[in-house]
Amino acid sequence: MLQKLRKLFRSQAATPRANAALEQAIALLQERTQRQESFQPRIIQLETRSRCTGHCSFCLASVGRDPRPDLLMSETLFDKILGELVQWKFVNRLSLYNNNEPLMDKRITDWLRRARKALPLAYLELKSNGTILSMDKIIDLFDAGLDMLYINDYRDAEAFAKGEHRPNVARILKELEASRRFKGHFERNHHFRRVIVSLRKQEEHLNTRAGSSPNRDPLPAPLNLPCLRPFEQLAINPAGLVTLCCDDLLFQEPLGDLNQQTLPEIWLSSPYDRLRLALLEGQRGVRSTCSQCDYRGYSHEMLAELGV
């Protein structure tokens, strides 16, 4: 099988070194699954409210287009998830967002504080479009225990061409520049920033987002390309459904329900392992969402953490 995967990945990787790393990763993950080795997800995307303030043409979750009900996670379910992560001794990335604007949930700062207290070694992150963000809110979030904040400021074509952030994000940038707290340690001629602000095009054409992207045509057929994502990520919606990754925006093919199961039970289940092996072999037709996905199949961060 490795010969087949070597050929499939070669068109996706930029260098021979990257090709070799991918091949090593595939072999390691095959072995891990066959041994039924216990491991944690690297990234848990936890969505507490299924709403966004964005108007992005590439995203089905944008204002006026989102078909999802406005769900709000119950406090009971959030506490259950936190308790299971504590028992699991979770030390990886807990992202309190998925396909939403996390600041639309008024409880997010308090819940972040509770997550920090429960999981002192986990990496807590948020991603916002910046539309309802202020410097005071940023300080509150970091005081509550946030490790990293990403602000994707999506602007129309004219504003993007001029390099113009929305006014409140421009103010935030000025205040960030005046504060050493968010610049961090000076290394190799740049500061590590705990807040990363990116100016983005509202009309971007990104990947197919498992077939849900409004400005992308459907794939004519599933790609014959391996995917390592089921070894690194899972997503949870406000109702407690668990799916393979963030691209299954509508949670069409859940792998479990946290109202009835625990996170480790779902993550380490036989159905999950069967899916992992199928996607490792490039069988993207195994699920309807995967069959419409054009994600390249790996992240450089995962390869680095695997030591390849």
> Tens digits of per-residue pLDDT, 189-203?
666 789 999 999 999
Taking the chain, what is the end-to-end CA distance rounded to the nearest angstrom? 19
- Would the pLDDT of 3 be above 50? no
- With residue 178 as reference, give the H or E element that holds it: none
Q: How much is the pLDDT for 184?
A: 76
Q: CB within 8 A of 124, min separation 6: which ones?
A: 94, 96, 112, 115, 116, 145, 146, 147, 148
Whether the model clears a pTM of 0.85, i.e. scores above it, the answer is yes
Q: What pLDDT does residue 308 have?
A: 87
Work out the pLDDT band at 2, boundaries 50, 70, 90: very low
Average pLDDT of the residues in 45-59: 97
Give the pair of three-digit tokens for residue 305.
């953490």
Which residue blocks in the chain are alpha helix, DSSP H?
2-10, 16-34, 75-87, 108-118, 135-143, 157-162, 167-177, 263-267, 270-280, 288-291, 300-305
Burial class (CB in 10 A: 0-12, 13-18, 19+), 266: buried
pLDDT(165) > 90: yes
- Predicted pLDDT at 305: 86
